[in-house]
Structure 1
Amino acid sequence: MKVRRIDHIVLTVADLEKSMRFYHEVFDMPVLKEQNGDDLITLRCGHQLIRLQKAERPTDLKAAKPTIGSADLCIVAGDNLDDIIHHLNSYYIEIIAGPIEKHGAEGQMTSLYVHDPDNNLIEIAVYKNK
């Protein structure tokens, strides 16, 4: 098998609308209409998708124990770090760690860490020389 990339991730959330507003407003992720419904919201994150679901979503195609607040993911930003910090502050988003120098899939990066409304850990990374 030749794996190319991750297509999407699914986050289990307590409140679909609240989480959708957070990812749409804070991270400027467009909400896609084609998959939206009462139990699933899809947002575009670069070339990938983030889907939001509630734990009780009526489907067999989900994790065995979908748990609110158990995700830890990294998104890559195209802005400079000072602008990102200013943007997060303007939304009253607490930066819980960072800036921290890290090594990611494409090399050296600097990361900030925040929590989403469900306490999922969101790492915001800016790559050096990218």
Structure 2
Amino acid sequence: MINRLDHLVLTSSDPDATTHFYTRVLGMRLETFGNGRIAFRFGNQKINLHVRGHEFEPKAHLPVPGALDLCFIAEMKLAEVIAHLQRQNWPIVEGPVQRTGATGPIRSVYIRDPDFNLIEISEYL
């Protein structure tokens, strides 16, 4: 019945810091749509941004910053991701460590975005 994830919605308390993180640190493309709404595009997916207290309807039952745990597959080697994060002065919470992805074993590092969402960046082994 379900084929793929199209987009997800992230609720932020600081949209400027969130925009910086997802565009500069993670390299996603900033997209504006609708009546000035913001999204971060990567591959064939995107993350729509809601600002806490100003969410669009309908919304999640309890939209709160910091509640997400996301895993992204990098388009480069994990060593390059780590070097990029170091250049951006973005701290790694854990890793590299081995985990299990949707289709097999992965190697991952974990970071947090400005709202403390857990972000896993991985490569398949």
Aligned residues between the structures: 125
Residue 27 of structure 1, CA deviation = 1.2
- Structure 1 length as normaliser, TM-score? 0.90
Percent identity over the alignment is 38
Residue 35 of structure 1, CA deviation = 4.0
CA-based RMSD: 1.3
| Residue 108 (str. 1) matches residue 105 (str. 2) | yes
| Residue 75 (str. 1) matches residue 72 (str. 2) | yes
SS in 2 for 1:33: strand
Residue 76 of structure 1, CA deviation = 0.6
Q: Which structure 2 residue ranges, 5 or more long, are not aligned?
A: none
**Kept after mapping to 1: 8 A contact 2:50/2:56:** no
| Match in the other structure for 1:90 | 87
Letter in 2 for 1:95: I
Q: Which structure 1 residue ranges, 5 or more long, are not aligned?
A: none
- Structure 2 length as normaliser, TM-score? 0.93
Q: Could you list the structure 1 runs, at least 4 aligned residues long, displaced by more than 3 angstroms after superposition.
A: none
Residue 36 of structure 1, CA deviation = 6.4
The 1:33–1:58 alpha-carbon spacing in structure 2 relative to 1, beyond 3 Å, is closer
**Kept after mapping to 2: 8 A contact 1:41/1:51:** yes
